[in-house]
C-alpha cells in the first residue's frame, strides 16, 4: 500500500499532541513501520446469496478496514502483522458479525468469502450508543431500540417522527396538530420535567440538533396564551429519506455520554452513507391526499331559544329582578322589556336563580365546517446518488416535498440537500464530512388557542349567519357581534414562516495502534426562522364590534429567530484483552456544547389600506424587542467495560459537567453509571442442555445511572430579572414577579432498570422486557409564592417526581419460507408518573382553553383538577330537581391536602356546601401499545400498524363551547325536548363535564407494495406502494380526534382539545426506482 509518508507522519504527530494535551496519560506509542503486508479479499453475501454492498470489513481491534463494493467484494491490506494471529471482522447493520481468524504472513493473500446471517434483534447486532460510541447489544445493560429506513418509508408520512409512532417501546409519540408542518413530541418513559420540556436530546450524525419550538409566525396571540407551546418543532426540517437508522436511548443509564442533557433520553439519528461501487441512483416520487377524518357534531336544527339576535341562547338568562320587572316595571332603564313571544323558565344553579328563555324561534343554521376544510394534496420527491471506491464513498441527495393541510390555505414546502463524503486517509485514519441544507416554508392559519382561528371561529359563532354572503365590493359581512367570520380566518389572515437550516459535521477516526482509537466529531446546527403575521383590518368591524384582542384594525408583525448550536466531542478508546477471559474497553472523552439564539420581533396594529406588512402599521402601535439566549456546557467522561468470556459484561462510567446556566458553586455536576449484562445462553452448559431450538438466546441485563436535565431552567432564570417595558416614551423597568434562587442546580434523574432479552425457536420468537424506576430530584419548579413575599413565583429545585414502568416488545416470525414471510410484532408500554414533591401543594398551569391543568403533590403531572359532577355512592350522577347535572359540593378539608374533600348532602340528598375540586381527569395514559403485521409474498408485501392508547383523559373545551353558543349536539336535544330545558346551563360550570375519555385504537398505517425486479434494462428495481395513514379510529370521543393537543409541543399542557386542527386521514401512492 502506497501512502504519502509526509501526510502520514503529520497525522501521527497530531495524534500525539492530542494525547498529551487531553489525556495526560502515558501510553507508549508503538509506531514501528515494517514493509510486510498481507492481503485478505473475498465476497460477502446475504442469506439469499445476494451480494451485500457496504458491509464493513475490519481488522479486529483497529480501524484498519474497508467496506464491500456494489458486488459485495472487498480487498483488505493488513500492514505490519506478519506472523501474528489476527481476526477479520465483517459486520453490517442488521446482520450477525462474522469473525474470521487467520495467521498473517508477509506477502501472502487469503480469500475469505462470507455468507452473513440476519441478526436483527439478536445479541451480536451492533448498535450506536453515542456520537462516537458503538457497542454489541450483548454488552449493554440497558434497552436500546433502532428503527431503520424501511420503517420510515412504510409510514407514508414526510414527517420523521410519524415513522416512529408505534415502533418504540416506552415512547409516547404524539402529533400535536394536523397542520401540514404540525409538531410532534416524543416522550420517552413519561414526563421528566415540570418546567422545561421532556423532549429527548436529538443527535444527527454526532451533531446535537435542535427540535425546539419558537413561535415566530403567531406573534399576535402571544399575550393571550398560557403555557402552551405553539408552532412547528424543528425536526420538521429533516428529510426522512436521508435517514438510515434512528436509535432511541430511553433511559438515563443508556445515555451517560450526554450527562446533564440525557435525562429525557437521546435519539441518535444516522443518515445514509455511500457504498463503494458503481454510482447508484435512487428516485422516488409520491402523491398524497389528506382529508378530514370526522366532523364534529354541529346542529343544523332550525330553532333557537328567545329571539334570533340572542347570543348564547342556551345559557343566556336574566336575573330575578329583571324577570320581576316584566310584570312590575319600575319605570327605569333597568327594567327588562321582553321580545314578542319571549317566555322564561326559572333555573337554580349553585344556589343562584336565573331565568332562561323557554320559547323557540325559527332560524336557518349552517355547518361552517364545510367552508374551512378541504381535501389537501401533497407530493414528496427524492433523488439520491451514491457510490465510491474503497477509499472514498459519497452520498448525495435532493428532496422536494409539498403538502397541503386540510384547513384551506395551509401548506408546507421543503427542499433538502445533503452530501456525505467518507474518505480513508490512511490505513489508520478516516475522515467523514456531512453537509445538509434545508429550506422550508409554511403557510399557517391562526393557532387554535385564539377565537380567530379557523376551528374556534366555527365553535364559538352561532351558525345562523350565511358566512359566504358579501357586500357589493365583495367583502365578507359580520356574523354574531364580537365574533370573527370563519371565512375571514381563511381569506384575510396569513401567518407564514420560512426556515433556512444547515446541519454539518466533521468526523475524524484514528487508530494509531492496535486497540487504541480516537474519534473526534465536530458539529454545527444553525438555522434562521423568519415569520410574518398578518391580520387584515376587518371590513365589518363597525357592525361586529370586535374586541381589541382580535385586532379589529389589523395587525402585522415579523419575527426572526437565529439559532446556532455547536458541539465538539472527542473520545479516546482503548481495547485490550487483559487475560484470555477478560477484556477491557475503556473510553475517555470530552464534550463541549454551545448554544445561542437571538430573537427579534416588531409588531404593530392599525394597518394602512393595501399594506400587508409592519411597514403599514400606525406608528404609535409599533413595539419591538430583542432577546439573546446563550449557554455553554463542558463535559468530561470516562467509561470502562470489562467483559468475561463474551458472556458477562460490566460497565462503569462517570461524566462531569459544567454549564453556564448555573452559578459557579453549582456548575460542576457528576453523573455516574453502572450496568451489567449476562448471556447464560452462550455458556457451554446451556448450549449442551437447552439448545437453539428451544431458547436460542437469553440475556439478562440491569443498569443504574444518573443523568441531568437543563431544559427546566432558562439561561438566566437564576437571576432576578429587572426587565424593560415600552411605556409612554419613558424608560421603564419592571422587577419580575418571578423571583430567583442563585443556587439553583440541574435536575437530576436516578434510574434503575432491569430486563431480559430472550429468543425462542431459532430466533423465531423474540421477547424483550424492561422494568424501570426513575426518581427525578431537584426538579426545577416555578413554584407559586404567596405574593406577600414580593413575587408570585420562584424558580427553585423543590420538586421530585417518579416514573415507573414496563416496556415489552414481542416479535414473532410465524412463517418464513423462500417466498412467504410473516412478521408480527407487539409493543406494550406502561408508565406511572407521580409528582412526589412540589414546594407547594398545587401549581396551576396557565392555559388559554380554561383547562384546569395542575401539578399536585401525590398525583401524576398535568392532571385536570376542578369542579366535579356530584355522584352518589354507586357513581351515578345526582340530578337536580329539574333533571340536570350539578357540581359536587361539600368542604375541601385543607388547602395543604388538595385531594381531600368531604361531600355534603342536604335533607333531600342534594349536594350542599361550597363547590369542591378534585382530580377530574388524567392526560397520562394507562398504557400504550401497537401491533404491527407484515406479510410478504415474493415481491408483494402488505403491512399494517395498529396503535392504541388507553385510559387517558381529554379536556374537551370545544364540546362545551358548542353547547353554550347553541350549536352543539346536546343543545339540539334540549331544543327537541329530548333533554330538559336548562340541561346545558346546569352542567356549564362543572369542569368534569368537559373531560372525555380519549382512549383509542387507530389504524395508523396500512400499506401494500409491489417490487418489480429489473423491469427494464438499467433499472434494478421499481417499487410501487399504496399507503393509508390514520384511516380509522375506534374511540368514543365527542370531537374531531381523541389525539388533540392544543398545548402544542408543551409537555405540561397535554390532552386539551381547544381549536386545534385535527390529524388528517391520508392516502399516498409512491413509486421508487433504483438504478
Partner 1 sequence: MKYTNMKSISRLTSVIIMLFLVSCDKEYINPSSASSNQVLTDVNGLISVANGLQYKYSVGQASPEYTVISASGLLAKELTVLNAGNLNELLLQQGGATVIGNNGIVTNLWNQSNLIKSNAKLILDNLNLVSDQGTKGALQAHAAIYKALALGNLAMFWQQAPLSVEKNATFTDRISILKEAISTLEAANTELAKASISSLFTSRIAPGIDYANTINALIARYALMTGDYDKALTAANAVNLAVSVKSVMNHDDASQNAMFFSSFGARNNTEPVDANFSLPVALQTLPADKRIAFFINSTAGKNKGNASFFVANTTAVPIYRPGEVTLIKAEAYVRRTSQDLNAAVTELNKIITKAPSSDALGIGAGLTAYAGPVTAPAILDEIYKQRCIELYLSGLRLEDSRRFARPAAERGRDFLPYPFSERDNNPNTPADPAN
Angle at the Cα of 993 from the Cα atoms of 990 and 999, rounded to 5 degrees? 150
Size of the site for partner 1 (CB under 8 A): 97
**What is the DSSP code (8-state) at residue 189?**
S
CA distance 931 to 682: 31
Among 348, 358, 359, 482, binds partner 1 (CB under 8 A): 482
Return the residues of window 110-169 that contact partner 1 according to CB under 8 A: none
Neighbours of 149 (CB within 10 A): 18
- Closer CB to partner 1, residue 311 or residue 804? 311
Q: Which is nearer to partner 1, 599 or 772 (CB)?
A: 599
Looking at the DSSP assignment, which residues form a beta bridge with residue 470? 476
Q: Which residue has the cell 445479541?
A: 123
The least distance separating partner 1 from the CB of residue 952, rounded to whole angstroms, comes to 25
What minimum distance in Å lies between the beta carbon of 622 and partner 1?
A: 8
CA distance 949 to 909: 38
307 binds partner 1 (CB under 8 A): no
Q: What are phi and psi of 762, to 5 degrees?
A: 55, 45
Vertex 200 angle, CA 138 and 635, to 5°: 80
Q: Give the contact letters, 320-349, x = binds to partner 1 (CB under 8 A), - = no.
A: ----------xxxxx---------------
Alpha-carbon distance of 79 to 63, in angstroms, equals: 12
State which of residues 481, 814, 883, 1015 lies at the interface with partner 1 (CB under 8 A). 481
Q: Which of the residues 710 through 749 are near partner 1 (CB under 8 A)? A: 715-716, 719-737
Cα separation, 813 vs 326, in Å, equals 78
- Can residue 546 be called a binding residue for partner 1 (CB under 8 A)? yes
Residues 911-950 touching partner 1, rule: CB under 8 A, are: 914-915, 917
Distances (CA, A) of 267 to 186, 202, 211, 263, 990: 10, 5, 11, 12, 42
**Measured from the CB atom, is 577 or 668 closer to partner 1?**
668
CB of 701 vs partner 1, minimal distance in Å: 34
Q: Which is nearer to partner 1, 537 or 841 (CB)?
A: 841
Q: Which span sits near partner 1 by CB under 8 A: 84-92, 623-631, 902-910, 926-934?
A: 623-631
Output the smallest distance, CB 129 to partner 1, in A: 23
Contact 835, 859 (CB under 8 A): yes
Min dist. Cβ of residue 658 to partner 1 (A): 6
Among 117, 244, 350, 1011, binds partner 1 (CB under 8 A): 350
CB of 752 within 8 A of CB of 673?
no
Residue from the set 118, 528, 670, 792 that interacts with partner 1 by CB under 8 A = 792
Least distance between partner 1 and beta carbon 606 (Å): 8
Shortest approach of partner 1 to residue 1030 CB, angstroms?
32
* Biggest CA-to-CA distance, the chain: 118
Sole binder of partner 1 in the list 226, 672, 841, 858 (CB under 8 A): 841
Residue 495's nearest CA partner among 1061, 1001, 895, 919 is 1061
Alpha carbon distances (Å) from 479 to 315, 501, 1044: 19, 42, 28
**Binding to partner 1 by residue 1026, rule CB under 8 A?**
no
Q: Which of residues 525-544 bind partner 1 (CB under 8 A)?
A: 543
Asked if residue 4 binds partner 1 (CB under 8 A), the reply is: no
Site string for partner 1, 564-583 (x = CB under 8 A): ----x-x-------------
Residues 6+ apart with CB under 8 A from 907: none
1024 forms beta bridges with 1010, 1071
Question: For residues 867 and 990, is the Cβ–Cβ distance under 8 A?
Answer: yes
Stretch that binds partner 1, among 84-92, 200-208, 787-795, 868-876 (CB under 8 A): 787-795
Which helix (H) or strand (E) is 41 found in, with range?
strand 37-45
What residues numbered 868-897 form the site for partner 1, per CB under 8 A?
895-896
Which residues, listed in sequence order, are joined to residue 933 by a DSSP beta bridge?
Answer: 824, 944
Kind and range of the H or E run holding 327: helix 320-327
Q: Which of 28, 626, 819, 1018 binds partner 1 (CB under 8 A)?
A: 626
Question: Which residue, 18 or 767, has its beta carbon nearer to partner 1?
Answer: 18
- Closer to partner 1 by Cβ: residue 103 or 733: 733
Binding positions for partner 1, 632-661, rule CB under 8 A? 632, 634, 658, 660
Alpha-carbon distance of 720 to 794, in angstroms, equals: 9
Q: Which is nearer to partner 1, 625 or 1021 (CB)?
A: 625
From the CB of 784, what's the least distance to partner 1, in Å?
5
Q: Exactly one of 145, 177, 706, 840 binds partner 1 (CB under 8 A); which one?
A: 840
What cell does 71 get? 458486488
Touching partner 1, residues 52-71 (CB under 8 A): none
Q: Which is nearer to partner 1, 311 or 830 (CB)?
A: 311
Rounding to the nearest 10 degrees, give the CA dihedral for residues 888, 891, 893, 894. Answer: 100
Confirm or reject binding of residue 547 to partner 1 (CB under 8 A): yes
For residue 174, give every residue at least 6 positions away whose Cβ sits within 8 Å of its Cβ, in sequence order, or none.
184, 185, 187, 1043, 1045, 1054
Those residues whose C-beta lies under 8 Å from the C-beta of residue 656, and which sit 6 or more positions away, are: 259, 635, 636, 637, 668, 669, 670, 671
| Residue with Cβ nearer partner 1 (788 or 817) | 788
Q: Which is nearer to partner 1, 538 or 1000 (CB)?
A: 538
Q: Other C-beta atoms within 10 Å of 695: how many?
A: 16
Residues 6 or more apart whose CB falls under 8 angstroms from that of 125 comprise: 93, 94, 96, 119, 136, 137
Cβ 625 to partner 1 shortest distance, Å:
7
Q: If binding is defined by CB under 8 A, does position 7 make contact with partner 1?
A: no
Report the relative pairing of strands 793-816 and 765-784 from DSSP bridges.
antiparallel
Q: Which residues pair with 585 in a beta bridge?
A: 575, 641
Q: Does 902 bind partner 1 (CB under 8 A)?
A: no
Phi and psi angles of residue 960, each rounded to the nearest 5 degrees, phi first: -70, -40
Work out how close the CB of 749 gets to partner 1 at its nearest, in angstroms, rounded to a whole number.
Answer: 24
Closest separation between CB of residue 106 and partner 1, Å?
29
Binding to partner 1 (CB under 8 A) within 380-439 occurs at: none
Q: CB nearer to partner 1: give 861 or 957.
A: 957
978 near partner 1, rule: CB under 8 A: no
Q: Which is nearer to partner 1, 850 or 951 (CB)?
A: 850
837 near partner 1, judged by CB under 8 A: no
Among 48, 101, 111, 620, binds partner 1 (CB under 8 A): 620
Is 910 one of the binding residues for partner 1 (CB under 8 A)?
Answer: no
Q: Could you tell me which stretch among 203-211, 248-256, 400-408, 842-850 binds partner 1 (CB under 8 A)? A: 842-850
DSSP 1061: P
Min dist CB 852 to partner 1, Å, is 9
- Output 47 or 789, the one with its CB closest to partner 1: 789
Euclidean distance between CA atoms 939 and 1011, whole angstroms: 5
Task: Tell me the C-alpha distance between 137 and 95, whole Å.
Answer: 12
| Among positions 513, 527, 864, 988, the unique one binding partner 1 when judged by CB under 8 A | 988
C-beta of 846: minimal distance to partner 1 in Å? 10
- Cell numbers linked to 1000: 383509542
Coil, strand or helix: which one is 491?
helix
Contact 160, 173 (CB under 8 A): no
CA–CA distance from 474 to each of 210, 400, 471, 490 (Å)? 45, 37, 5, 15
Encoded one letter per residue, x for contact with partner 1 by CB under 8 A and - for no contact, window 256-295 reads ----------------------------------------
Selected binder of partner 1 within 83, 329, 545, 814 (CB under 8 A): 545
Amino acid at each position: 500500500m502506497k501512502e504519502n509518508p509526509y501526510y502520514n507522519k503529520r497525522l501521527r504527530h497530531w495524534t500525539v499532541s492530542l494525547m498529551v494535551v487531553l489525556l495526560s496519560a502515558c501510553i507508549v506509542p508503538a509506531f514501528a513501520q515494517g514493509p510486510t503486508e498481507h492481503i485478505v479479499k473475498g465476497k460477502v453475501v446475504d442469506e439469499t446469496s445476494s451480494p451485500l454492498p457496504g458491509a464493513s470489513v475490519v481488522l479486529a481491534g483497529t480501524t484498519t478496514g474497508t467496506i464491500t463494493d456494489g458486488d459485495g467484494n472487498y480487498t483488505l491490506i493488513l500492514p505490519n502483522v506478519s506472523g501474528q494471529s489476527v481476526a477479520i471482522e465483517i459486520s453490517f447493520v442488521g446482520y450477525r458479525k462474522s469473525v474470521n481468524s487467520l495467521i498473517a504472513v508477509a506477502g501472502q493473500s487469503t480469500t475469505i468469502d462470507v455468507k452473513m446471517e440476519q441478526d436483527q434483534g439478536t445479541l451480536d447486532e451492533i448498535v450506536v450508543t453515542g456520537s462516537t460510541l458503538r457497542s454489541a447489544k450483548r454488552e449493554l445493560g440497558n434497552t436500546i431500540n433502532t428503527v431503520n429506513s424501511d420503517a420510515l418509508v412504510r409510514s407514508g408520512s414526510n414527517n420523521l417522527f410519524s415513522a416512529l409512532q408505534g415502533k418504540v417501546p416506552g415512547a409516547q409519540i404524539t402529533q400535536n396538530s394536523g397542520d401540514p408542518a404540525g409538531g410532534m413530541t416524543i416522550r420517552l418513559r413519561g414526563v421528566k420535567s415540570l418546567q422545561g420540556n421532556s423532549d429527548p436530546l436529538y443527535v444527527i450524525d454526532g451533531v446535537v440538533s435542535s427540535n425546539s419550538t419558537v413561535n415566530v409566525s403567531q406573534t399576535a396571540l402571544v399575550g393571550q396564551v398560557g403555557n402552551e407551546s405553539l408552532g412547528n418543532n424543528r425536526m420538521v426540517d429533516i428529510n426522512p429519506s436521508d435517514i438510515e437508522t434512528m436509535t432511541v436511548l430511553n433511559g438515563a443509564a443508556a445515555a451517560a455520554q450526554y450527562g446533564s442533557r440525557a435525562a429525557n433520553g437521546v435519539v441518535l439519528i444516522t443518515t445514509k452513507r455511500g457504498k463503494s461501487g458503481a454510482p447508484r441512483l435512487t428516485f422516488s416520487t409520491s402523491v398524497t391526499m389528506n382529508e378530514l377524518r370526522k366532523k364534529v357534531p354541529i346542529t343544523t336544527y332550525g330553532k333557537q331559544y328567545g329571539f334570533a339576535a340572542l347570543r348564547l341562547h342556551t345559557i343566556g338568562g336574566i336575573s330575578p329582578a329583571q324577570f320581576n320587572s316584566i310584570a312590575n316595571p319600575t319605570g327605569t332603564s333597568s327594567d327588562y322589556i321582553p321580545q314578542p313571544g319571549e317566555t322564561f323558565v326559572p333555573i337554580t344553579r349553585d344556589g343562584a336563580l336565573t331565568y332562561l328563555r323557554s320559547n323557540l324561534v325559527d332560524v336557518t343554521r349552517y355547518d361552517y365546517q364545510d367552508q374551512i376544510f378541504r381535501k389537501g394534496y401533497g407530493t414528496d420527491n427524492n433523488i439520491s446518488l451514491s457510490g465510491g471506491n474503497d477509499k472514498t464513498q459519497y452520498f448525495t441527495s435532493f428532496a422536494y416535498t409539498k403538502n397541503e393541510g386540510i384547513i384551506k390555505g395551509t401548506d408546507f414546502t421543503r427542499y433538502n440537500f445533503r452530501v456525505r463524503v467518507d474518505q480513508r486517509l490512511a490505513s489508520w485514519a478516516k475522515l467523514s464530512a456531512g453537509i445538509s441544507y434545508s429550506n422550508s416554508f409554511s403557510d399557517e392559519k391562526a393557532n387554535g388557542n385564539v377565537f380567530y382561528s379557523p376551528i374556534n371561529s366555527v365553535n364559538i359563532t352561532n351558525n345562523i349567519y350565511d358566512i359566504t354572503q358579501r357586500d357589493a365590493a365583495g367583502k365578507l359581512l359580520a356574523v354574531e357581534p364580537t365574533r370573527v367570520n370563519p371565512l375571514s380566518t381563511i381569506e384575510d389572515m396569513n401567518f407564514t414562516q420560512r426556515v433556512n437550516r444547515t446541519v454539518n459535521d466533521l468526523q475524524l477516526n484514528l487508530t494509531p495502534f492496535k486497540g487504541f482509537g480516537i474519534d473526534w466529531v465536530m458539529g454545527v446546527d444553525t438555522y434562521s426562522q423568519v415569520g410574518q403575521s398578518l391580520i387584515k383590518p376587518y371590513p365589518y368591524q363597525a357592525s361586529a364590534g370586535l374586541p381589541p384582542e382580535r385586532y379589529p384594525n389589523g395587525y402585522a408583525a415579523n419575527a426572526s429567530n437565529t439559532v446556532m448550536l455547536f458541539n465538539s466531542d472527542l473520545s479516546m478508546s482503548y481495547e485490550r484483552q487483559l487475560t484470555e477471559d477478560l477484556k477491557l474497553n475503556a473510553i475517555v472523552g470530552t464534550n463541549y456544547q454551545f448554544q445561542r439564539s437571538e430573537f427579534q420581533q416588531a409588531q404593530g396594529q392599525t394597518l394602512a389600506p393595501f399594506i400587508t406588512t409592519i411597514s403599514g402599521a400606525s406608528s404609535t402601535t409599533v413595539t419591538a424587542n430583542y432577546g439573546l439566549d446563550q449557554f455553554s456546557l463542558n463535559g468530561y467522561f470516562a467509561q470502562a467495560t470489562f467483559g468475561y468470556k463474551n458472556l458477562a459484561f460490566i460497565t462503569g462510567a462517570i461524566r462531569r459537567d459544567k454549564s453556564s446556566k448555573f452559578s459557579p458553586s453549582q456548575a460542576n455536576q457528576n453523573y455516574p453509571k453502572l450496568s451489567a449484562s449476562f448471556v447464560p445462553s452462550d455458556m457451554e452448559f446451556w448450549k449442551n442442555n437447552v439448545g437453539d431450538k428451544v431458547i436460542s438466546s437469553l440475556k439478562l441485563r440491569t443498569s443504574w445511572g444518573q443523568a441531568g436535565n437543563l431544559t427546566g431552567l432558562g439561561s438566566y432564570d437564576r437571576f432576578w430579572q429587572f426587565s424593560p417595558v415600552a411605556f409612554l416614551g419613558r424608560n421603564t423597568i419592571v422587577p419580575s414577579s418571578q423571583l430567583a434562587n442563585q443556587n439553583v442546580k440541574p435536575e437530576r434523574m436516578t434510574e434503575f432498570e432491569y430486563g431480559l432479552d430472550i429468543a425462542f425457536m431459532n430466533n423465531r420468537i423474540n421477547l424483550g422486557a424492561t422494568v424501570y424506576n426513575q426518581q427525578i430530584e431537584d426538579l426545577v419548579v416555578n413554584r407559586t409564592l404567596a405574593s406577600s413575599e414580593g413575587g408570585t413565583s420562584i424558580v427553585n429545585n423543590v420538586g421530585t417526581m417518579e416514573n415507573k414502568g414496563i416496556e415489552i416488545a414481542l416479535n414473532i416470525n410465524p412463517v418464513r419460507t423462500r417466498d412467504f414471510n410473516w412478521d408480527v410484532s407487539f409493543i406494550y408500554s406502561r408508565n406511572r408518573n407521580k409528582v412526589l414533591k412540589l414546594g407547594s401543594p398545587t401549581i396551576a398551569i396557565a392555559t388559554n382553553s380554561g383547562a384546569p391543568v395542575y401539578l399536585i403533590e401525590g398525583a401524576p403531572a398535568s392532571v385536570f383538577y376542578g369542579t366535579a359532577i356530584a355522584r352518589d355512592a354507586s357513581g351515578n350522577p345526582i340530578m337536580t330537581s329539574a333533571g340536570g347535572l350539578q357540581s359536587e359540593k361539600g368542604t375541601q378539608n385543607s388547602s395543604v391536602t388538595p385531594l381531600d374533600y368531604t361531600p355534603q348532602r342536604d335533607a333531600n340528598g342534594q349536594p350542599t356546601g361550597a363547590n369542591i375540586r378534585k382530580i377530574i381527569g388524567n392526560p397520562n395514559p394507562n398504557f400504550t401499545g401497537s401491533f404491527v403485521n407484515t406479510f410478504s409474498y415474493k415481491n408483494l408485501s402488505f403491512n399494517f400498524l395498529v396503535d392504541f392508547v388507553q385510559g387517558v383523559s381529554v379536556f374537551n373545551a370545544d364540546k362545551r363551547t358548542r353547547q353554550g353558543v347553541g350549536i352543539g349536539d346536546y343543545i339540539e336535544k334540549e331544543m327537541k325536548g329530548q333533554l330538559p330545558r336548562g340541561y346545558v346551563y346546569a352542567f356549564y360550570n362543572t369542569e368534569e363535564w368537559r373531560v372525555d375519555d380519549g382512549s383509542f385504537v387507530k389504524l395508523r398505517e396500512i400499506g401494500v407494495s409491489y417490487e418489480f425486479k429489473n423491469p427494464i434494462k438499467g433499472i434494478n428495481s421499481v417499487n410501487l406502494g399504496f399507503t393509508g395513514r390514520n384511516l380509522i379510529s375506534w374511540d368514543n370521543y365527542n370531537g374531531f380526534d381523541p389525539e388533540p393537543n392544543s398545548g402544542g409541543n408543551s409537555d405540561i399542557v397535554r390532552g386539551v382539545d381547544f381549536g386545534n386542527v385535527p390529524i388528517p386521514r391520508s392516502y399516498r401512492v409512491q413509486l421508487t426506482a433504483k438504478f
